[in-house]
Chain A
């Protein structure tokens, strides 16, 4: 309180304070005991309510007490309408007091929402007004944002009104995950994109980009706006369609660009829903098969497979961008580059510029993209793995787009890959060379290599084979020059891959006895 002399805490004062605290503590214990006692005896009455509210007012986070309160309130259902209305309105008031004590009390917010749903006539308008008032005091209280969304849903406020509200809040302070996030939820319903390629329709998309760029430039170190920008640019999903089809082991294999659902007799391979197989019908010949495949609403593909060949579509990871959007992307890139001139170490700017360059023309910008990824790794060491994976994805996409899909042998070596992406495009390949990369993890993604007979993983950084999938065709695996130091994960792998005939483990850190036991296990495979 202003204008009051500050009291020095003497020993005496401290003693007094301690006494007060002890007293409070005692009172608290006493109340809690009483409450639980009453509950045990089923004494759900006004006195219990009062005891509970007294404790809650200063300790709004005690879940148990709120729950007991709910139990008691539910027993009040038979009271007269007026009484009940009065009790519930008092109850609302109690949560309000508790929220004043702690505006971020999960329990109090939750109780309030529960009340709304259990009141005969909740005053939702008032609740909305209250949210607005609270958010004025602290626009970053996400509890209040959550509650607001719940109220808005019950009140059926037009999303456009809420959108306007987020605009106001963002203009007040854009360093606010909650309002950007809310915006990203509202926009698609207010301005849906007919093409389905963007999160929102084109004019709104352009406007949003402008808005969020202003925030990014005003404070490039504020991550909330960058997250929103990334959401806006977000790689629009690739076009859906079949990308590969071939025969193997008397089955038709069909690979899609994304997950799909196919009718019987198609069955998903390895639960992935990207690769589907079905046995050949009796009347179908392996020389030339034509079939029609229907995936989803009105999407149909007519496929013909020649003997021993693969039907394939060249992968395209970036869908076509409309000229208007392209010009926005380009101007965003321009300004990002200007921003980088001013703030060369701004990681969000670097990252966003990379995303933009990928969307605009990744071939043209290849060296720049890689260069900036190196910078990111340098400036932001703690997210090194993340950036490495972005790089791997970028490189792999490029390599896959270049790939001859009809070839049985795929070479993806010396690409500094730290992770694997889009491996389903390799489903047809029988020889896959991934040597001389930096693979340590993401072996699970190999599970789609349905046709792979020979897999070369020499000179990577593998320390374990944990998660290495079972590959139905795998005969030869080379793991030379990795960091495998234990047979522990290798033996289970061998048990899973009984087709394997050849396993090369040279240049690892395995002891002779481990090598011996592995050989033994491998011996079992051959038979």
Chain B
């Protein structure tokens, strides 16, 4: 995969810096986490979205002025439903979107719990965004915009009301996160940069360091 990740055409503008970040989604079941991701990554929306996406994670890039921000987006895969989210989920996450459903007060309450959980479990400088989803269902609204915004401000969170269905504020919230992330060149690449990812071994095998060749 790596060698095909095509670099920019050499005669275009000088190549932009690419930074990669792990972003996790949190929130109650059925608030529309997967729908937000699908809208952002594939531009799609399904009224009856299966509860999982069936992939390890999805990736999408956001272009800022001088930097390309590549998001590695992790969905809960339903593990949050019975409070069984593995600690692994939070490892090395540099950004999180905590999602609630503006038509359901309980999900907002749970969102606050997730924020606390993140502050406890995740790395201290994680960028957290709060997304009030299903903003298109204004007539059924139970969580007031001002209430959520006040909470977000208090806790230093980015905040937007979004609609995966109409696409309102979906790209915007990811863009806002991208802007807030620290973009040093040392981060980026895959993962935390502390360890190494496994790759298909025959491509990295170097007989020279092995014993007898």
Within 8 A of A (CB), among B6-26: 7, 9-12, 14-15
Residues of A within 8 A of B14 (CB): 86, 89-90, 93
A175 located at the interface, meaning its Cβ lies under 8 Å from any Cβ of chain B in the complex: yes
Q: Give the size category of A's interface with B.
A: 20 to 34
Instruction: Pick the residue among A86, A90, A175 that contacts B208 (CB under 8 A).
Output: A175
Q: Please, which residues of chain A bring their CB within 8 A of the CB of B15?
A: 93
Which residue of the partner chain A has the closest CB to B14? A89
Q: Does A94 contact B (CB under 8 A)?
A: yes
State the Cβ distance, B15 to closest chain A Cβ, in Å.
6
B158-200 CB contact bits vs A (8 Å, 1 = yes)?
A: 0000000000000000000000000000000000000000011
Q: How far is the CB of B203 from chain A (nearest CB, A)?
A: 10
How far is A173 from B206 in the complex, measured between Cα atoms in Å?
Answer: 11
Chain B residues contacting A175 (CB-CB under 8 Å) are 208
Cross-chain contact of A173 among B3, B9, B11, B209 (Cβ < 8 A): B209
Which listed residue, B3, B10, B209, touches A93 by the CB 8 Å rule? B10
A interface SS class: helix
Kindly state whether residue A2 has any CB partner on chain B within 8 Å: yes
Asked if A139 lies at the interface with its beta carbon under 8 angstroms from chain B, I say yes
Expressed in whole angstroms, the Cα–Cα distance for A57 and B10 within the complex equals 9
Can you name the residue of chain A whose Cβ is closest to the Cβ of B209?
A173
CB-based contact B10/A94 at 8 Å: yes
Nearest CB in chain A to that of B1: its residue: A1
Supposing A139-B208, A175-B208 touch, asked if A46 and B200 sit within 8 A by C-beta, the answer is no
Of B1, B7, B11, B209, which one neighbours A46 at CB under 8 angstroms? B11
Smallest beta-carbon distance B211→chain A, Å: 10
Interface string of A72-108 (1 = CB under 8 A from B): 0000000000000010011101100100100000000
B8, closest chain A residue (CB)? A93
Band of interface residues on B: 10 to 19
Chain A residues whose C-beta falls within 8 Å of the C-beta of B7 in the assembled complex: 93, 97
Q: Which of A1, A90, A139, A173 contacts B10 (CB 8 A)?
A: A90
Establish whether residues A97 and B10, one from each chain, have CB atoms under 8 Å apart when the complex forms: yes
A140 near B: Cβ within 8 Å?
Answer: yes
Residues of chain A lying within 8 A (CB to CB) of residue B208: 139-140, 173, 175
A53 CB within 8 Å of chain B: yes
Q: How far is the CB of B182 from chain A (nearest CB, A)?
A: 23
Question: How far is the CB of B21 from the nearest CB of chain A, in Å?
Answer: 23
Interface string of A166-187 (1 = CB under 8 A from B): 0000001101000000000000
B59 CB to closest chain A CB (Å) equals 14
Near A by CB (< 8 A), chain B positions 72-87 give none
Known: A140-B208, A172-B209, A175-B208. A100 touches B3 (CB 8 A): yes
Q: Which residues of A contact B (CB under 8 A)?
A: 1-2, 46, 49-50, 53, 57, 86, 89-91, 93-94, 97, 100, 139-140, 172-173, 175
Give chain B's interface residues, CB within 8 Å of chain A.
1, 3, 7, 9-12, 14-15, 199-200, 208-209
Supply 27 A–B pairs (Cβ within 8 Å), ascending by A: A1-B1, A2-B199, A46-B11, A50-B9, A53-B9, A53-B10, A53-B11, A57-B10, A86-B14, A89-B14, A90-B11, A90-B12, A90-B14, A93-B7, A93-B10, A93-B14, A93-B15, A94-B10, A94-B11, A97-B10, A100-B3, A139-B208, A140-B208, A172-B209, A173-B208, A173-B209, A175-B208
